Amino acid sequence: MTKYFIYIMLFVSIFSCSKKIEIDESKVFKLNRYDNISSLDPINARTQANTWACNLMYNSLVKIDNQLEIQPDIAKSWTISEDGKIYSFTLRNDVFFHKHEAFGKDSTRNVTASDFEYSFNRLKDPKAGGSGGWILNNIDSYKAINDTLFEIKLKEAYPAFLGLISMKYASVVPKELFKNGNDDFIKHPIGTGPFQFKIWEDNVKMVFRKNPKYFEFDEKGQRLPYLEAVNLSFLPEKNSEFLELIKGNLDMMADLDPSYKDEILNPIGDLNPKYSNILTIQKVPYLSTVYLCFYLDAPNAIDLKLRQALNYGVDKNKIIKYMMKGQAFEADGGFIPKGLPGYSAESGYKYSPEKARELINSYKKSNGKIAPIELTTVQEYVDVCEYIAAEMAKLGLPIKVNVVPGPTMRDGKATGKFTLFRANWGADYPDAENFLSLYYSKNFAPEGPNYSHYKNPAFDKMYEQAFLINNPDDRAKMYQKMDALMMQNAPIIPLFYDQTTLFLNKKVKNFSMGPIKLLDLTRVYKDQSVK
C-alpha cells in the first residue's frame, strides 16, 4: 500500500532551530474551526473552540462519557462522605506532563495531588484572568493530603459537583511553567492529554502531536491515542469548510449552515446519496432546549387553560420535519432534554388539537373573546413562531408575532417585558438540576434564570431535596417528577431539543460525540482500506 506523508516544519523553542517532522498522513486527523481559538489555557475553556482544543491536551480529576456518566480520569477512584460534603480523590501515579525544558532537558514528571491544589488556586485567582472560577464557588476548602490523595470540602452538598469539575476549567497544569508569569505557558502550553501542542499560527492552523507517554491503553494493551497528529485549520466560511470536506481535505465537519443544507441533506434530513460514498452522518442529542416561555407575573398573564391549549395544539413533528429539516429532536417530554438523565417522554403533552380546541372553547365560555396573545421572537425563529400562530388561529386562539433584535430580547425576557417569548437554554454542566433551576422560586429573573416566575412550593421542596440525593438513578427519578409537575402548570411550551449533526470522512472510525459536544480523538483511527 502506498504511503502518503505530510511534512510539517515545527519550530520547537527548546532547540531554537527548525526541526523537520515526518508524519504519516493516514494517521493525521484534519478538521476546521470557522471560529478561531482564543486560548489554549484550560481556565479559558469557555467557548466550544477553546474547549475542543483543551480536551485534546488536558485531563482533570474525572471526565464525563457520552452517556453523561462520570468516569475516572487522573483520579482512579473517589469517596463521598455520608453528608455529601467531602470528596476524597485517589490519583493515578502514572500520569506525566508533556515534555518541557521546565522539567529538565527533554524531560517530564508525574502529576501529584499538589498539582491539583496549584491548578485550583490558579483557577479561582482573579489575577490569572480565567473564566471558569465559578465552578469552585461551592467549595469550602481543598488540599493535597499526600502525593496521591486530594481532598475537597464543599460548603453544601451538591450532587452535580463531579459534573462541574469534569469541565476543562478544572484541568491540571504544572506550576513550573508559571514561575515567570503566564508567558512561558502561553508560548508552549503543557498538559497531560493524549495530544501535545506543536504549532499555532493564528487564524491559519494549529497542530498537535501524539503524546507518547499518555496513560490510557486500549483493551488489547496498546497505548492510546492511535492517531499521530491533529491538524486544525481556521477557514472562516462554512461553505469553504464544506467544500474541503467533500474534497477529502477534512475528516469531520460539525453542524450545518443554510448555505449548503439543501445540498448535503435530502428533504427528510438524511445524507444526500451522492455523498454516501465519501461521507457518513451522525446525529446526537445536544443538551439544549428551545421553548416558548410565559411570563406568569405579567399584568395580562395568560390563563392556565390557554397555556395548556398551546402545549396540546402545536404539532412539533411538523416543525422538525419542515422547518428544521430533521436536525433536531421533538420536545416530546418536558424541559429536560433528550440525552440527559431526568428526561422522560411522559413529562410533557402529546399533540392533540382536539384537546387544545376544547380548552380554548372552555376558556371562551367563561371569559368571552380572547385578546390576541403577543409572541416575541428574534428573526431566526420567525418562521417557527408564525407557523405556531397560524396553527393556533385554526383552533380559535389568536397570536400576533412580534420580532425584536437579540439585545432587546435578552433584556426583555430578564425584566418581564414580554408575556410570551421564544427562548432556549443550554447546559452549563451535565446535570438536569441546571435545567430545573429555571423553575425554582428563589431564582426569579433578573437575578436568576427563572424567566417565567414560576412558583410552586411542592416543586421547591423537591428541588432542595434533590441536593441531598447522591445516588444518580434516584436523583434522575426525582428530576423526572419535578419536570412533570412543572409541565402540569405549563409555564413553558418545549418545542424541540437541539441536535448535533456531524459529517465524517468514511475512513474515520471510532468517532463519537456526546450531548455536551466534547471533541475526543483518543480512540479514533483512519481505515485506509476504505476507498
Same domain, 121 and 210: yes
Domain harbouring 43, CATH code: 3.40.190.10
Same domain, 462 and 512: no
Separation of alpha carbons 263 and 358, rounded Å: 43
Residue predicted with more confidence, 55 or 48: 55
pLDDT digits (tens, 9 = 90+) for 458-471: 999 999 999 888 88
327 found inside a domain: yes
Separation of alpha carbons 413 and 376, rounded Å: 10
pLDDT digits (tens, 9 = 90+) for 89-125: 999 999 999 999 999 888 999 999 999 999 999 999 9
255 found inside a domain: no
Same domain, 206 and 330: no
In this prediction, residue 22 carries a pLDDT of 67
Same domain, 302 and 213: no
Grid coordinates standing for 10?
515545527
The residue range of the domain holding 514 is 5-236+507-526
Helix axes 457-466, 472-489, angle to 10 degrees: 160
Same domain, 383 and 521: no
Separation of alpha carbons 516 and 26, rounded Å: 28
Nearest to 176, CA basis, from 188, 164, 165, 168: 188
Residue bearing cell 428573526:
379
Separation of alpha carbons 273 and 101, rounded Å: 52
CA-based angle 511:47:523, to the nearest 5? 20
Separation of alpha carbons 4 and 117, rounded Å: 45
**Contact criterion met (CB below 8 Å) for 135 and 170:** yes
273 found inside a domain: no
In this prediction, residue 206 carries a pLDDT of 96
Q: Specify the pTM.
A: 0.82
Residue bearing cell 505557558:
185
Domain harbouring 414, CATH code: 3.10.105.10
Same domain, 470 and 511: no
410 found inside a domain: yes
Same domain, 518 and 488: no
Mean pLDDT of 465-489: 93
Same domain, 458 and 518: no
Percent of the chain scored above 90 by pLDDT? 72
Confidence of residue 17 (pLDDT cuts 50, 70, 90): very low
Same domain, 227 and 302: no
Range ranked top by mean pLDDT from 63-72, 200-209, 485-494: 485-494
Query: Residues of 256-274 as b/e, b for ≥16 C-beta within 10 angstroms?
Result: beeebeeebbeeebeeeee
274 found inside a domain: no
In DSSP terms, 281 is beta-bridged to 503
In DSSP terms, 410 is beta-bridged to none
- Positions of E strands within 169-244: 195-201, 205-210, 229-233
Confidence check: pLDDT of 1 > 50: no
Same domain, 485 and 517: no
86 found inside a domain: yes
Q: Is 129 left (phi over 0), alpha (psi -120 to 50) or beta?
A: left
Confidence check: pLDDT of 6 > 60: no
Confidence check: pLDDT of 55 > 50: yes
Same domain, 230 and 301: no
pLDDT digits (tens, 9 = 90+) for 391-433: 999 999 999 999 999 889 989 999 999 999 999 998 878 889 9
How many domains does the chain divide into? 2
Separation of alpha carbons 313 and 316, rounded Å: 9
Same domain, 228 and 337: no
